[in-house]
Chain A
Amino acid sequence: MQFLQLVISGVAQGCIYGLIALGFVLIYKATETVNFAQGDLMMLGGFLGLSFMVVLGMPFWAAFFATLAVMLLFGMLLERALLRPLLGQPAFTVVMLTIGIGYLARGLVTMIPGWGTETHTLPVPYRDEVLRVVIGSGNDPLVLSMEHLAIIVVTAFLIAILFLFFRYTKLGVAMQATSQNQLAAFYMGIPVRRINMLVWGISAAVSACAGLLLAPITFVHANMGYIGLKAFPAAVVGGFGSIPGALVGGLIIGIVESLSGFYLPEGFKDIAAYIVVLAMLVVLPNGLFGDKMKKKV
């Protein structure tokens, strides 16, 4: 029972990693840049949701969707204003730019009155509620906190929507085409630049969603974006260019972390993700779902 309990909380945490990793993967697939500000976009999402609920007094779900919409626009604006001028520059340049954006975001957030350096609580309706499930007779009941359940359910829902979007809509297919071969997509009449802009928007919205889901557990504060660093291992384990891989990688990292926190000596919980990713890079650099491509000469 203990084991199952740990696995469930690991899955919930893993969903968060998975969502942030999904944000990386979307951007990486489309533009081949790694966005080191992904965690900070998540943090911005958390703060925006907080402001919508506390300052504007919106109900939770309205605030949720308002945050996603604002972050979608913010992501698009970011791409248009800062990333697009660097189109065609080496990957390292763009990485440094995203690091700069993240650094800037962390600094600016602490300067905004009402956000600041303190930790805030997001007043979600399902806070501190638990669900007790009894499996088999005579066992201790399985205690599921609603925060964890909400993460799992919303993530599953979001993944389903994204799957349908990429599979069945014209825009989704255009995005897939762009990520496979930009030049060919451009020749087919797909507006590649606008698509990239939209990808940044979606990625920011997905991260914001992760931030809102995580907020009831870790609270909202300026440094909550650091959790994005553990999404890198998730993305690598899943294979950096694979959308289902990102989620599976996130779950693996989440579960390993949760189990190692209980069964291994103190300290291993924080670095479990990194040990897993180093092992993965040595054994299988392309990740679980990564595609292998060889250059033809």
Chain B
Amino acid sequence: MRFVFRTRYEQDLRLFKDNGQKFCYGLLVAALLLAPWLFPDYFVSQLVFIWIYSVVGLGLMLLVGYTGQISMGHAAFLAMGAYTEAYLQSKGWPFVLSLASAAVVSGLTGIVVGLPALRVKGMYLAIATLAFGFIVEEAVTRADGVTGGSSGMTLGSLEIFGLPIDSEQRFYYVSLAVLTLCILGVMNLMRSPTGRAFVAIRDSEISAQSMGINLGRYKTIAFALSAALAGVAGALYAHKLRFLSPEQFTFLQSIELLIMIVIGGLGSIHGAIFGAAFWILAQQFIVIAKDWLPAAIGQQTGLQPTVFGIFLVAFVLFEPLGLYGRWLKIRTYFEIFPFYRKGMFKRQKSYMKSERLK
């Protein structure tokens, strides 16, 4: 049992609520820093994928989980970041500069895509972003002067301040550092007035507007930041794979990113990371499981979508807060032991809210 008794306002604003949290996260950071020395290369490589997906998941979480705007074209922002990075790197730009440019280019695109968000909302916005995703995918395929078209584009080796990033371990630290910066950035953003405005817009546009929040402005900011994070992730992704082709950034990828954060848990930073970890680890488990499943099931190409589909449906129906919700429930159970009640996290039923009346 543990009580955090708040006596000052600063306690609400702190990044870490108490010393216990500081200790736990300190342990986690130490473990992550040691991981590349303890685990084989293949495992480290999968961890890198988790960090990269966490960054894009954070971006999408900012938009979907915190601001309540749906994007079904996030793979397009990933593509913008990846190709910007690849192009600038081939022109000899240093990594820090090209990474920043990838974020900026992606973010500016986000603003352009966010513009329809000023006029339309809900489903229409989802369809607008979906349309944008398809257009970018096609544009990347056709602009073969810059992107290599459907035959793809390869990247040279990465170098940061003269230090060659030539091993899995070194790239692990680069991506972990980027992820940590992104998480701290998003955490700070969510404590700021801008972040609070996002949440207010998600919960009710009308009441947010009545409190003096400029809807258009904050939605555009959310789109831009979300796209910029996706751009950063795209740049890392480009260096991880060292080969880019348009098939990596399809509509399916956008949908999978959405599924990832929903399984992780909407509306929490933990959710983005849990979702990414789940996504990568589950894929690995499926690959392993294929060997000992009977061939009739194990050798099916549809195994992975089926498993993820079942997980998504089950989470939406039974655990709407996702993996983070499950974690929160277990943690709460122990924290307030023995006072946990069954109905503590019960979903609020509400009357159907109509979006038809604007």
Contact = CB atoms under 8 A, between A and B. Distances in A.
Interface of A: 28, 32, 34, 82, 85-93, 95-97, 99-111, 117, 182, 222, 226, 229, 232-233, 236, 240-241, 267, 270-271, 273-275, 277-278, 281-282, 285, 293-295
A91 B126 CA distance: 12
Given A92-B70, A117-B301, A270-B138, A293 B119 contact: no
B123 interface: yes
Interface string B172-198: 000000000000000000000000000
Nearest to B353: A90
28 contacts: A32-B354, A34-B126, A86-B316, A87-B352, A88-B349, A91-B122, A95-B70, A95-B123, A97-B313, A99-B255, A101-B309, A101-B313, A105-B309, A106-B309, A226-B251, A229-B130, A229-B134, A236-B124, A274-B130, A274-B132, A278-B131, A285-B119, A285-B124, A293-B356, A293-B357, A293-B358, A294-B358, A295-B358
A267 B18 CA distance: 57
Contacts of A229: 130, 134, 251
B305 interface: yes
A293 B349 CA distance: 26
Contacts of A34: 123, 126
Given A101-B313, A285-B120, A88 B302 contact: no
A110 B320 contact: no
B130 A96 contact: no
Contacts of B347: 89
Contact of A111 (B128, B259, B302, B350): B302
Contact of A32 (B70, B262, B320, B356): B356
A232 B349 CA distance: 29
A89 B124 CA distance: 19
Contact of A108 (B251, B306, B355): B306
B309 A97 contact: no
B256 to A, nearest CB: 9
B312 interface: yes
A80 B255 CA distance: 25
Given A240-B124, A267-B138, A88 B350 contact: yes
B34 interface: no
The 9 A-B pairs of least Cβ separation, nearest first, read: A104-B309, A110-B302, A107-B306, A107-B305, A274-B131, A100-B312, A103-B309, A107-B302, A100-B313
Contact of B305 (A85, A93, A106): A106
B7 interface: no
A109 to B, nearest CB: 7
A12 B311 CA distance: 38
A115 B64 CA distance: 36
B116 A282 contact: yes
Interface in B189-237: none
B300 A111 contact: yes
A229 to B, nearest CB: 7
Contacts of A32: 352, 354-356
A218 B120 CA distance: 34
Contacts of A85: 317
Given A32-B355, A274-B131, A96 B305 contact: no
Given A86-B317, A271-B134, A99 B312 contact: yes
**Which of B124, B302, B307 neighbours the largest number of chain A CB atoms within 10 Å of its CB?**
B302
Given A88-B349, A101-B313, 13 more contacts: A34-B126, A92-B68, A99-B259, A104-B305, A107-B306, A108-B306, A111-B300, A233-B131, A240-B124, A271-B134, A274-B134, A293-B358, A294-B357
Contacts of B303: 107, 111
Contacts of B62: none
Contacts of A96: 258-259, 262, 312, 316
Given A32-B355, A92-B70, A107-B306, A271 B135 contact: yes
A103 B252 CA distance: 10
Contacts of B301: 110, 117
A265 B354 CA distance: 43
A100 B132 CA distance: 22
Nearest to B357: A295
Interface string B330-358: 00000000000000000101111111111
B305 A282 contact: no
Given A86-B316, A96-B312, A267 B141 contact: yes
**Which of A91, A105, A106, A274 neighbours the largest number of chain B CB atoms within 10 Å of its CB?**
A274
A190 to B, nearest CB: 15
Contacts of A106: 302, 305, 309
A108 B357 contact: no
B13 interface: no
B198 to A, nearest CB: 15
Nearest to B347: A89
A57 to B, nearest CB: 26
Contacts of B351: 88
A232 B134 CA distance: 13
A232 B350 CA distance: 28
B134 A100 contact: no
